[in-house]
Amino acid sequence: MIQEIQIYNTLTRKKEVFEPLAAGKVGLYVCGPTVYGPPHLGHARSAITFDLLFRYLKQIGYQVRYVRNITDVGHLVADADEGEDKIAKQAKLDELEPMEVVQKYTNMYHQAMALLNLDSPSIEPRASGHIIEQIEEVKKILASGYAYESNGSVYFDVEKFASENEYGKLSGRKIEDLISNTRTLDGQSEKRSGLDFAIWKKAQPEHLMHWPSPWSEGFPGWHIECTAMSCKYLGETFDIHGGGMDLTFPHHEAEMAQSLAAHGKPAVRYWMHNNMITLNGQKMGKSLGNAISLEEFFSGNHPLLEKAYSPMTIRFFMLQAHYRSTLDFSNEALQASEKGLERLMKAVSKINSLPVSESSTIPVSEIAANCFAAMSDDLNSPIAIAGLFEGVKLINSVADGKSTISADDRDALNRLFHAFVFDIFGFKAENQLESGTSEVLSEVVDLLMKLRAEAKANKDWATSDKIRNELAAIGFDIKDGKEGVSWELKK
């Protein structure tokens, strides 16, 4: 039996019970990155949000096909109409082939996502690999009468579409407002209205990326790729479409209109949007020049960063906030996440060695119910994490002998924590010792620990402190616990 889950649908602006098109199966499409720059924190937020959805849906029993695209063609630069292909522009600056740029940043994206421990999507289609499909969509829209050709380019006729269909519902806009907002900007453009958007764009001679089409040598408009690829892999109508909130307009609004124009029915049943990462209260974004790349977070190599933050710290930081809230970046918040995650991970590794008793004072099923209820309420990961920390308190209490747990409950607790910590939240151990990188080093440090223990037994505090302090200077944490000494190498 699959657990019921509620999802906030941007289209209706309320939480709705999720009912898949086909029982037990979910089609999920998420807008992936435009690969013309290194991946930053914002990319991670979107990717982690929908990774969480992907993982949770699988956990509660769904079979999910998760499609996340790579946009590697067709974006226009700021001057909207007559702009260059964004990727081509970057290519000239770097003196690289466009596809080389695409490859480079795609690799960087994959690498960062792997470090963040994201489950790979089921299919990761590239826009450049679906030019034919996109041309087919353009033909369908032309045939339906909602697009027109102009000087080798094809534009979607927004006003005509809006006169016969809903346009602006997703982003909460009224067509009249849009018209009055854009009409003044309308100059000598080949578009009939400033609202219209290109679904096929004729390439200027300096464009490096272009393909033949019935209308011109050119490239597809930005929005059409998602229509073509979601349709190809998930069908004309599918369950969930996700992406960053900043894509709601115009990208998703256009996509909605196009799909309806091309196929005669709505494509998406539930629209989900993650909110932005902010820096000093302002959106972090490449165009604002305040984006910190993931590589910089992992290395600590950025003026705003006090230290390096591991991928799991970033992941935990994100999941501590609800995906529909803005999340403000700060060193203090990140360091709090780092410590909180450490506490959680330590508790998980303790569960199996907890002493069992006849009876149990731990309300395991209650904790489990709370965690699942939170996640099923529009992916409320912060509440679920709070539930887990209730469990952490109890785990420590049993370890201290202040509470008792039965063997059955310990198993249940173990299953619960593994399901949430590893399978749903996707955390993994990052400690070097746990990943077993350097056996020889371990043995050497263990030897020093032994010498220190001997010195302590002889009350030779000078020697024992010297060993501790000098190892600390190298970067080792020496911890004297009740059950002996442990150590770890920081960084």
Partner RNA sequence: GGUUCCUUAGCCGAGUGGUUAGGCGGCGGUCUGCAAAACCGUAUACGGCGGUUCGAAUCCGCCAGGAACCUCCA
Residues 211-240 that bind RNA (CB under 7 A): 222
User: What type of residue is 11?
Assistant: L
- State how beta strands 277-279 and 282-283 pair: antiparallel
Phi (first) and psi of residue 484, to 5 degrees: 105, -175
Per-residue tokens: 315: 């992941």
264-293 positions binding RNA, by CB under 7 A: 274, 276-278, 281-288, 291
Asked if 397 touches RNA (CB under 7 A), the answer is yes
189 near RNA, rule: CB under 7 A: no
Which of 267/327 has CB closer to RNA? 327
Closest separation in Å from C-beta 165 to RNA: 19
| Per-residue contact string for residues 99-118; x = within reach of RNA by CB under 7 A | --------------------
CA distance 293 to 291: 6
Q: Which residues are within 8 A (CB) of 400 and not within 5 positions of it... i.e. 6 or more apart?
A: none
182 contacts RNA (rule: CB under 7 A): yes
The residue with tokens 């900007």 is 185
Q: How far is the CB of 79 from RNA (least distance, A)?
A: 8
x/- letters, 312..331, toward RNA (CB under 7 A): --------xxx--xxxx-x-
Ranges assigned E (strand) in 161-203: 197-202
Which residues in the 23-42 window bind RNA by CB under 7 A? 31-34, 37, 40-42
Site for RNA in 431-460 (CB under 7 A): 456
For residue 70, state whether it binds RNA (rule: CB under 7 A).
no
Residues between 124 and 143 that touch RNA (CB under 7 A):
none
Indicate whether 295 belongs to the interface with RNA (CB under 7 A): no
Which two structure tokens, joined as six digits, stand for 417?
A: 């924590």
**CA nearest to 318, candidates 435, 194, 427:** 427
Angle between helices 98-115 and 86-94 (to 10 degrees): 100
- Candidates 55-63, 78-86, 153-161, 419-427: pick the segment binding RNA (CB under 7 A): 78-86
Q: Are 77 and 445 in contact (CB under 8 A)?
A: no
User: Which residue from 52, 76, 224, 471 is in contact with RNA, where contact means CB under 7 A?
Assistant: 76
Per-position DSSP letters for 296-312, written without gaps between them: HHHHT-STT-SS---HH
Q: Are 385 and 319 in contact (CB under 8 A)?
A: yes
7 sits near RNA (criterion: CB under 7 A): no
Task: Work out whether 71 is an interface residue with RNA (CB under 7 A).
Answer: yes
Size of the site for RNA (CB under 7 A): 94
